[in-house]
Structure 1
C-alpha cells in the first residue's frame, strides 16, 4: 500500500492511498474488453449487416484508412472521453473504484487528461497491444507515487476510493431549516475542493493566519466566479462552506 502525501497550494497535507498495480491492471483489462467488444460489434455491423465490404474494397487506400480510423475513433478516444466526463474514471476504473487526481489535491482537468491520453502511446502502446503495458508497469512500480509516464507529465496519480473515509464527515456544516444560501455557484466545487477549503480555513482561523485566509478567499472567488461579496474573509469562507453543504446535501 502506497500512501500519497499531497501538499496543496494552501499548505494543507492530504493523504491518499495509491491504487495498487493489480487494481490498475484489472481496470485496464475491463476497459480493453469493452474496446474489443465495440470493435467486434462495429465491424460486424459495417461489413455483415450493412454489407459495405465490397464498397470499401473498391476505395483507394487513403479512403479505406479514413473509414477504419473513423470506426476506431471511439476506441482511440475512449480513455480521454470517459476520464473527462466521469471525473477521472473510465468504466474500468469506476468498477474498480479508482480514479485520477491531481497531486496538488485538486480535480484533474481536461488538459491533464489530454496529456495522460497522449502519453498512452509510450506507456501502453509502444510495444504493441500484448507487451505495451509493460512500460507503464515498470514506471508505476519504480515511481514513489505509483505514476506512469503520463501521470508524471500531467502531475496526476491514480488513487483508490475503497478505503476512503466518507468525505461528508469532513466537510459537513450544521444548517438550520431556515438557512438561505448566498452563492449558488459553489456547485462548481468538488467534494475534494470543499475539504481542502475547510481544512485550510479551520487551520488558518485557529492560528490567526490572515494572510492564508486572504489567499484562500481569492482562490475561491476565482474558482467559483463570484463577482461581489460584502463580508470579511472568515464570514465569506464560512458562508461558502455552508452553501456548498446546502446545495449538495441532497445529492
Structure 2
C-alpha cells in the first residue's frame, strides 16, 4: 500500500495512505453521474420551457456545471468533490501546506489532458508510475490525493472514542500542563512506532519521552517497555483532566 509522509505546519510528520487508483476511478464515476444527472434534469427543463428560453437555460446551467464542477467543488469543499468525499479522499499539498485556489486551478486545467483528451490513459500512467500517486495535474501543482479514513490524521474525536472519561483513573496530574499540539504529537509518535517497529522510531520515542520529562520537570527512570505506557497514560490523563 503506497503512502506519503507529510510534514505539517506544526512540524509533525504524518503518514497518509495515497489514494488508490480504484478509489480515484470510483470517485470520478460518482462525480460524473452527478454531472450527468444535472445534464438530464436541465435538458428536461429546457424542453419544457423551450418556448421561453429553454436553450439558454441549458447553456447557463448545464454547461457551467460540466466545465467548473470539479474546480468549484475542490475550492468550496477544501480539496474534495462529492465523489472524493464519498470515497474519503482529499487533495493535499505534498509539503504539508493547505492547497491554494491556484493549486486547484492547475489541477483543473490539466484535467483536460489527464482525463478527457486521453480518455484517462495519461492520468492512469502517471498515477501508477509516480512516487506519490500523482497525475500530471498533481505534479504541476505539487499536490496528491490521499485517503483520510480510516485514520491517517488523528483528532481528539478519534482519541475520545476509545477513552471513556468516567472510567479513567488519573495517574499523572501534571499531564494537564501539556498542550493540544504536544498530545497530538505523542499520539502520532505512538502510532508510527507501532506501525514501523524499528530502531529509528524507537530513538524518536526515546527522544520524545525525554522532552516530555524535561518540560514537566520529571526526574525518574523508565525501562524500555515502560516508555510507551508512560506516553499512553499521559495522553489518557490529559484527556481526563482537560475534557
Q: TM-score, normalised by structure 1?
A: 0.59
Counterpart position of 2:123: 136
| 1:12–1:196 Cα contact (<8 Å) kept | no
Counterpart position of 1:38: 38
Equivalents in 1 of 2:114, 2:211: separation in Å?
45
Say yes or no: does 1:2 pair with 2:7.
Answer: no
Structure 1 residues 143-222: aligned runs within 5 Å: 143-164=130-151, 167-169=154-156, 199=185, 206=211
| 1:83–1:89 Cα contact (<8 Å) kept | yes
1:71 Cα deviation from its structure 2 partner:
3.4
Q: TM-score, normalised by structure 2?
A: 0.61
Q: Describe the SS at the equivalent of 2:80.
A: coil
Equivalents in 2 of 1:108, 1:54: separation in Å?
40
Segments of structure 1 that go 5 or more residues without pairing to the other structure are: 57-63, 173-193, 208-245
Change (3 A) 1:165 1:14: closer
| 1:83–1:113 Cα contact (<8 Å) kept | yes
Segments of structure 2 that go 5 or more residues without pairing to the other structure are: 160-179, 190-207, 213-241
1:115 Cα deviation from its structure 2 partner:
1.2
Change (3 A) 1:85 1:195: farther
Change (3 A) 1:195 1:140: farther
1:103 Cα deviation from its structure 2 partner:
1.0
Q: Describe the SS at the equivalent of 1:100.
A: strand
Equivalents in 1 of 2:102, 2:181: separation in Å?
23
| 2:75–2:101 Cα contact (<8 Å) kept | yes
Equivalents in 1 of 2:10, 2:62: separation in Å?
46
- Count of aligned pairs between the two proteins: 181
1:170 Cα deviation from its structure 2 partner:
9.4
| 1:14–1:105 Cα contact (<8 Å) kept | no
| 1:5–1:15 Cα contact (<8 Å) kept | yes
